[in-house]
Amino acid sequence: MSNSPVVNWREIKSLHKFLNKKGEILVWTKVNVGPKGFEHQVPYFVGIVEFEDKTKRSVQIVDCEEKDLKVGLKIETVVRKLGKVEAAEVIDYTVKVKPI
C-alpha cells in the first residue's frame, strides 16, 4: 500500500468483498523474523485458508495462540491494520482471519 490517501482508498474499496467470509485453515506457519514494517508483530502466524466458496488465500491469522492452531480450524475474515504507522501516516487496512 501507498502513503497516499487517494491510492489507499482505491485499493481498499474491495475489502468489503472479503467481510464475513468463513472457511478453514489448510496450512499455517509461524513467522519469527518479519519484513520491514512488521518487526513489531513477530512472532505472528500466516496460513493458506480455503473459504466456503472454494477460493484460497494466503492471509495472516490473528486472535489465537499457537497451541490452538491446526489444519481444519474454522476461521472468519476480519479487517485489521496492515502494519505499524507513525502519527502523520495513513493507516493501511487489510483482510486477516481469526478462529471462529
Distance CA 60, CA 29 (A): 10
Q: What pLDDT sits at residue 1? A: 47
Cβ neighbour number for residue 75 with a 10 Å cutoff:
24
pLDDT of 40 > 80? The answer is yes
Average pLDDT over residues 10-30: 85
Question: What is the three-class DSSP state of 52?
Answer: coil
Tens-digit pLDDT profile for residues 45-87:
999 999 999 999 999 999 999 999 999 999 999 988 776 666 6
Listed in sequence order, the residues at least 6 apart from 67 whose beta carbon sits closer than 8 Å to its beta carbon are none
Domain layout of the chain by residue ranges: 5-99
Instruction: Determine the average pLDDT of the residues in 15-23.
Output: 85
Q: What is the pLDDT of residue 9?
A: 65
Task: Decide yes or no: CATH 3.30.70 for domain 5-99.
Answer: no
Kindly tell me if the per-residue pLDDT of 4 is higher than 70. no
Asked whether residue 28 carries a pLDDT value surpassing 90, the answer given is yes
- The cell numbers describing 27, all together, are 496450512
Mean pLDDT, the chain, rounded, equals 86
